[in-house]
Chains A and B, each alone.
Chain A
Amino acid sequence: MKQISVFLENRPGSLYEVLYKLKEEGINLRALSLADTAEFGVLRFIAENPEEIVEKLKKENFAATLTEVLAVGIEDRPGGLAEVVGILTHQNISIEYLYAFVSPQGERAYVVLRVEKLAEAEKILRENHIPILDKLTI
């Protein structure tokens, strides 16, 4: 699955400018995380038609990029996330970052993972019967 990342300057209004643009374009965010450092931030999100969104953002002078990430479904219970991370850890696969959210209807939670060895991670998760999503339609 493709994630969109946008560079944010560390100043009031920089997040709003991106969100306003997305609103104008009628883009619905499926999942989102905001990473920050003392100097700047990075907004990461999942939405439909990511290629198109990135082109639109670039036209508006945002630094935006696409990244291949894994979205996996896990059971919404204690230890659900630990199980997935455990599988990757045993295979020595490093996780760059992840963000998670629960589905309002079901008993599932979803995790978006950015890992170093994506193909390998995907394979090992499938082998362990962890559902990999190719679309976030909740």
Chain B
Amino acid sequence: MRTTPLWDEYYELLPREELEKIQLSRLKKVLIRAYHNLPYYRNKLEERKINPYDINSLSCLSHLPFTTKEDLRQAYPFGAIAEPLRNVVRVHSSSGTTGTATVVGYTKKDIESWSELAARALSSYGVDEEDIIQVSFGYGLFTGGLGIHYGAENLGATVVPASAGNTLRQIQIMKDLQITVLACTPSYALYLAEVARENNINWKESSLRIGVFGAEPWSEEMREDIEKRLPIRAFDIYGLSEVIGPGVAFECETKEGLHISEDHFLPEIIDPQTGRTLPPGEEGELVFTTLTKEGTPVIRYRTGDISSLNYETCACGRTLVRMKRVFSRTDDMLIIRGVNVYPSQIESVILSFEGVEPYYQIVLTRENFLDQIEVQVEVAPQFFSDQIKVLEGLKKQIEEKLKTELNLSCEVKLLEPKSITRSEGKSKRIIDLRKKEEIS
């Protein structure tokens, strides 16, 4: 059953046999481009003595080397860009400063494809040219804001680029401009609903009807909660900047997994330990090969997201494979208010301060539906001062540096020396208390 229009009927309903032909021809092209234009990937191919011109079936894919986030980091700033910079019209970057950041480049054609993909997603949720969409994802290096923005414009909807923050103003805009579609992180939607409730906003008068949520994992319970608090149908959108941004995969009305736009991205599920490709239905790490990207093509990029693939044709009629919604990861990456954070980034900030010991603990909580991050560090005995202002200054300096590094406000808590448990090997550095509080 499908009540919303298909944005791209040809590709969304393409029989698998035909789709695979297109995928193979695109895969061959992208591999050859990667071989000639991406030195880091060419080295990988040569090490394994793989000739990209030998690839003649999709099943060859499993023999190709992976691309990891580390590869992209090492290629910083432009080593992962396969085009001359004059052909690149935009870059996005994942959080982190030099050394930990990844830069992704987009050609004009990439921006067009991305706009198409985001429009496909929005269309499947029922968004059309009559809609007024408030994009409350952050605009900037993060792909969330601009990705949805271009998709919605491409679709012909009216875009209100509200970006993130200033919640009272967001609510005012929502009311005054008769917003029908809200796009943001699911936790921000809940926070917004809470602030609206405190300010006695009556949603009955609002035109709101659709929610486009992504950039962080969210449960079915959270979906129910959002739909209870806001007069909307809430849909999941998936994407990551290394692959393109939001619009890699999207839910349809059946809400049974997210359709991957397979004409642009070739998905696989692998065993994160062995790297072996897993059969359909099995859970493992999601891996993508971009089939059309010009700026930053990636071959078998390991997302770190845990999912599974379902190739059965969906009740909506789409033949595009469905990935299970992502709830966990293979690595220690944290998603805080939609921002990707690695504990190692926090560690490097802490190590740069002499006033604190190189031990830390990260405590994540959810207060009023918004993620809170507290970084606990021990005061170094040799640094300890009897002056409050020195200690407060230290705390503030660490907070400021974390903010610069992570693009996220953290609370720093100073602890007594040796109060964080020392242990051999992996210590429990992250205490995530968010999940328990999700449904309150």
B-binding residues in A (CB < 8 A) = 3, 5, 7-9, 14, 35, 37, 39-40, 42, 44, 58, 61-65, 67, 96-97, 114
Contacts and interface: CB of A to CB of B under 8 A. Distances in A.
B384 A61 contact: no
B384 A14 contact: no
Interface in B365-402: 379-381, 384-388, 391-392, 395
Interface of B: 379-381, 384-388, 391-392, 395, 413-419
12 contacts: A5-B384, A7-B384, A37-B392, A39-B414, A42-B386, A44-B386, A61-B416, A61-B419, A62-B417, A63-B384, A63-B417, A64-B381
Nearest to A10: B413
B416 A9 contact: yes
Contacts of A97: 387
A39 B418 CA distance: 18
Across the A-B interface, the 7 shortest Cβ-Cβ residue pairs? A5-B386, A63-B384, A61-B418, A67-B386, A63-B381, A63-B379, A61-B417
Nearest to A35: B388
B384 A39 contact: no
Given A7-B379, A39-B395, A40-B391, A65 B386 contact: yes
A117 to B, nearest CB: 15
A6 B168 CA distance: 43
Contacts of B391: 7, 40, 42
A7 B416 contact: yes
Contacts, number: 53
B414 A65 contact: no
- Tell me what chain A mostly uses at the interface: helix, strand, loop, or mixed: strand
A32 to B, nearest CB: 13
Contact of A9 (B381, B386, B395, B415): B415
Contacts of A3: 386
A39 B393 CA distance: 12
Given A37-B392, A39-B413, A42-B391, A9 B419 contact: yes
B382 to A, nearest CB: 8
Nearest to B414: A40
A65 B416 contact: no
A96 B391 CA distance: 14
B416 A63 contact: yes
A62 B55 CA distance: 64
A14 to B, nearest CB: 7
A37 B392 CA distance: 9
A52 to B, nearest CB: 16
A65 B418 CA distance: 16
Given A44-B386, A65-B386, 14 more contacts: A5-B384, A5-B386, A35-B388, A37-B392, A39-B392, A39-B395, A39-B414, A40-B414, A58-B381, A61-B418, A62-B381, A62-B417, A114-B386, A114-B387
Contacts of A9: 414-416, 419
B414 A7 contact: yes
A5 B384 CA distance: 9
A58 B414 CA distance: 17
A82 B102 CA distance: 61
Most buried by B among A5, A40, A67: A40
